[in-house]
Amino acid sequence: MSEQDLEQKGVDVIRGLSMDAVQKANSGHPGTPMALAPLAHVLWTRIMNYDASDPDWVDRDRFVLSCGHASMLLYSMLHLTGYEVSLHDLEQFRQWGSITPGHPEIHDTPGVEVTTGPLGQGFAMSVGMAMAERRLRAQFGSTVCDHHIFVMASDGDFMEGVSHEAASLAGHLDLGKLVVVYDDNHITIDGPTELAYTDNVPERFAAYGWDVVEIGEVANDLGALEAGVRRGMENEHHPSLVVLRSHIGYPSPNFTDTAAAHGSPLGEDEVKRVKEILGLPPDEHFYVPDDVAEMYRAAGSRGAAVREQHTVQVREWRESDADRTARYDACLATTGLPGWEKQLPVWKPGDGPIATRSSMADTLSAVVDVVPPMLSGAADLLGNTGTKITGAEAVTREEFTGRLVHYGIREFGMAAAMNGMAASGGVLPFGGTFFIFSDYMRAAVRLAALQGTKVGFIWSHDSVGLGEDGPTHQPIEQLASLRAMPGLTVIRPADANESVQAFRVHVEGDGPTGIVLTRQKLPVLEGSAERAVEGVSLGAYTLVDEDAAAPELILLGTGSEVSLCVEAHGALTKQGHAVRVVSMPSWELFAAATPEYRDSVLPPGTPTLAVEAGATFGWDRYADDVIGIDRFGASAPGATVMKELGFTPENVAQRAEDLLGAI
């Protein structure tokens, strides 16, 4: 058998595996894996640098299947090239406990770089991955970092709005290591794309500043596919879009170019017909002949030599500069240099008042030199959200060593790009916007939680206290909704010292953190400098002790409302009540503390009044009564809005008296 015939046989085996897995599961998307099998073959055997025995090799080429519904294409390639994905795993496609779920999941399957499925986000995360690659290369040189990001994207990816945000950002930043193949197959689940989509995608991307390579009807021409991708790789000054016209479900007699091939099994009879056309045994399932297996295993191990050479080069590079090596190691670990926390600022009560957004900016500025992977940015609000670093330069298309990113008014794109950076490695991204606009980025925040990416979401203007901008800009339900998201740690600091510790918790931890900050100035609270260091990491702590052996009442606050609790404490103490004030910056961290600690902070049976300028939903787990907001806000000076909605020390004290009287 000629090499050309063997390659074609391999392509057809990929198609057979994809059809069989979807058919066995009676669920899935066979059409795109069938159409793009030749492209996958070319990428994995002729183009990409990777080593299947070391999926986490730091300088590997990255592959993103943005059209995650075509997951069987990726799983087939991972199995064939030697990743720890067995034939049995393919047979368990979409089954409970398998490592081959319906859409690729970063922690389930070796070789999967990011979790894709929600269309557009894989593409947007690939932009972040290209940013991470370029940043590490700018910091440490091409000896350490020099790889490409390859993406398969679909019509559906480019219909989603986040693709516009991300593509525009990538073109603006000249991310030349990003090569996206656009599978222009003209089919969605409802039918032909022309039902709703007549964009000129090549012209659109050209307008964004991308290099557009149109290769046309070559989906089954291995040589033309390779040439097209390599043309995209040649332009290292611009990201590249390789436009490929494919035919979904090819070569199925009854399902090629049909919507039915998009989201349903072909049926046993049709699978047999296609196998006969391809020359595969029609009655044999999950067929992988030895010669095909050997071909792909050889391709999967070919990168070992490149990886070993890179390891030697990096070892020599490390030995030449100890300080540079320490900074590189901190980037890989996405943390600070040893002892970095000593640079964290501390505020005393007389230093206030200060908005927590301002104390966050001061914190970033104080540690920027000792936290090398930190890359801050905002969706057009650097100076407003606490993400601006004093004296730091911005990233530009010409120079990528800056510490700030101007994301523009692209909240969703920013969040998705940060996920890509964190998944790629070497960068600790922070991104800011107003808390109300967390709604715009929520889908990417959810993927951060699902993937466990170490992303810092900084949300300022956290309540009705922001004032005159009114209900459209005043978050009410966002705290409750984000607390409901598994895997996301939400921290709402009460003052400057708590905001510092919120930053430290994120840097020293894993996974995403949402830090929710004030626009209005707050007092620096007595005792926070000493108690917040441990208290924030535990989610809640006693800020003001009761003047008795045990508390008669607990005032439980978050964020800006903790200071109201402190003032009310004074009034209640004068009335002879033994009152404790507890600051609870994070429900998630408190829930993770030991039961003994939780009971020591909130003794069971002690009447508790919670105070938070947001929806009361969920507070019944911790409090007997809540001062909150279950309506939208109003346009007026912030202090007026807070007073009118009951956020005054006097009202807190009165509600506390009422609670005690009702017990």
- Active-site amino acid positions: 411
Q: Spell out the residues 6+ positions from residue 444 whose beta carbon is closer than 8 angstroms to its own.
A: 121, 124, 162, 412, 415, 416, 418, 419
Tokens describing residue 356: 């927590």
Strand partners, 243: 182, 214
Instruction: Kindly tell me the sign of the dihedral angle through the C-alpha atoms of 187, 189, 193, 199.
Output: negative
Instruction: Kindly tell me the sign of the dihedral angle through the C-alpha atoms of 133, 134, 140, 144.
Output: positive
| Rounded distance between C-alpha atoms, residue 305 and residue 317, angstroms | 18
Strand partners, 405: 377
Total residues found in the chain within this entry: 663
DSSP letter at 43 equals I
Q: Which residue has the tokens 């009971």?
A: 599
Beta-carbon count within 10 A of 186 CB: 16
Q: Spell out the residues 6+ positions from residue 418 whose beta carbon is closer than 8 angstroms to its own.
A: 128, 429, 430, 431, 444, 448, 453, 455
Q: Is the peptide bond before 486 cis (omega within 30 degrees of 0)?
A: no
Beta-carbon count within 10 A of 650 CB: 13
DSSP letter at 615 equals -
- Of 511, 506, 509, whose CA–CA distance to 452 is shortest? 511
Beta-carbon count within 10 A of 1 CB: 9
| Rounded distance between C-alpha atoms, residue 232 and residue 230, angstroms | 5
Between CA 371 and CA 374, with CA 373 as vertex, the angle to 5 degrees is 70
Cα radius of gyration (the chain): 28
Tokens describing residue 221: 């021409």
- Of 569, 582, 552, whose CA–CA distance to 659 is shortest? 552
**Do strands 541-544 and 579-583 pair parallel, antiparallel, or not at all (unpaired)?**
antiparallel
DSSP letter at 44 equals I
Q: Which residue has the tokens 């070796």?
A: 110
262: exposed, middle or buried (Cβ count in 10 Å: 0-12, 13-18, 19+): buried
DSSP letter at 440 equals H
| Rounded distance between C-alpha atoms, residue 392 and residue 448, angstroms | 27
The identity of residue 407, as a single letter, is Y
The identity of residue 58, as a single letter, is V
The identity of residue 18, as a single letter, is S
| Rounded distance between C-alpha atoms, residue 122 and residue 63, angstroms | 10
Q: Which residue has the tokens 């707050």?
A: 522
Tokens describing residue 99: 């490592």
Tokens describing residue 399: 């120079």
The phi-psi region of residue 65 (left if phi > 0; otherwise alpha if psi is between -120 and 50; otherwise beta) is: beta
| Rounded distance between C-alpha atoms, residue 241 and residue 245, angstroms | 13
| Rounded distance between C-alpha atoms, residue 256 and residue 557, angstroms | 60
Say if CB 352 and CB 522 are below 8 A apart: yes
